[in-house]
Amino acid sequence: MTVEVDQAERQGQHPKGHSMQQESPTGRRGRNKQRAPKVTKGEIESSSSSRMDSVSIETFEYQPAYSARWNLTTGDWALLVAISLAAVAVRCYRLSNPGNVVFDEVHFGKFAGKYLNRTWFYDLHPPLAKLMYAAAGHVAGYDGVFDFKQIGLDYAAAGVPYVGMRLLPALLGALTVPATYATARACGYGMDTGVLAALLVCVENGLVTQSRLILLDSPLVFFTVLALLSWAMFWTQQQHAYSRAWWAWLVATGAMVGCAASCKWVGLFLLPAIGLSTIGDLWDKIADRSLTPARWLGHFWARALALMLVPALVYVAWFHVHFTMLSKTSDDALGMTPEFQASLQGGRQVSTDRDVFYGSEIRMRTTHARSGYLHSHAHAWQHAKGSGQQQ
């Protein structure tokens, strides 16, 4: 809203001709003794109408800050091919070095072998990245026998196709480079900015190192970058709400968030990042007069389903694959419930009746022992040492 003030008021004059200049305290006291002039009702109405005539109101249309729709040009394709080749060269150079078990390869290489042997194991991380390494090992010819039990073990001496397994994180790390370029372009930046961002990711020492080893970080970063790329592409479709591309990028964002969380739980930090952006977008849409309340609710529920339900479904789906593949018992299964152990091939088949009646005789077994029962009787203790029967 713009307010225009009369020229008389800017020059210090009252609209009716009275001076508005400051008087000295003595002058004010002198004037207070005089009777104030009478102002008629007509003069008040005339003064009010003259002031209203000097006020003008300007309205502004709602203009959302969406990125323009981005279409790949010939120059974009050429740059994507060039930076992709550079990323592959950086991450695959001498991938076989070192030829020994390094750092957490001792864990995640072993878990890949467990999947291939379908043997139950317990790990604190979600299963997706480990399932991907199992698939890479299967394609490379890994039989799951080598147990990765110690850092420094020689891969070549054991005949482990470790280069094929390391190729997976290397390629995923290389793909994050063109994805970074596409994300910058989808956010409205020029080709030069996109190339700069991609090159920074391409040669960053930490990203290069973790993408050359059998670790969970490279798949995690890959799905995180894809989630941000999908979200940026979704914003370019905001002027085409509910179109196929709009739905595709929105659902893809939720699916990539679910995959990132299925690699490591730190992937869940994508939820507040994208969630805050969603809240700001929905808040801005309240000012859009072209949106009815029902249509605004449609935007709300579409985002809620795609960004909350879809990640949860993806996360649960990968755990379903995890439990389906691990069907054989192992020492790790001893810490699980008797019912779960009984569900595994080769697991202990024990009775798990739960109804206990008055007068029943109960025997309780320790959870970490294969034999012996906890029991009591009325006999006096006669031995200096224990009975060996867990009394």
- Residue-level pLDDT at 136: 97
Find out whether 158 and 139 touch, Cβ atoms under 8 Å. Answer: no
Please name every residue paired with 100 in a beta bridge, in sequence order, or none if there are none: 154
- Residue-level pLDDT at 297: 96
- Residue-level pLDDT at 387: 56
- Residue-level pLDDT at 43: 56
Cβ-in-10-Å burial (0-12, 13-18, 19+) of 270 comes to: buried
| Residue 178 tokens, joined | 């063109």
Return the amino acid letter for 66.
Answer: Y
Pairwise pLDDT comparison (239 vs 276), residue with the higher score: 276
pTM of the model: 0.75
Q: Cα separation of 178 and 195, whole Å?
A: 9
Closest CA to 337 of 321, 350, 322: 350
pLDDT beyond 50 at 9: no
Pairwise pLDDT comparison (69 vs 389), residue with the higher score: 69
Write the pLDDT tens digit of every residue in 335-378. 888 888 888 998 877 665 567 788 888 776 666 555 555 555 66
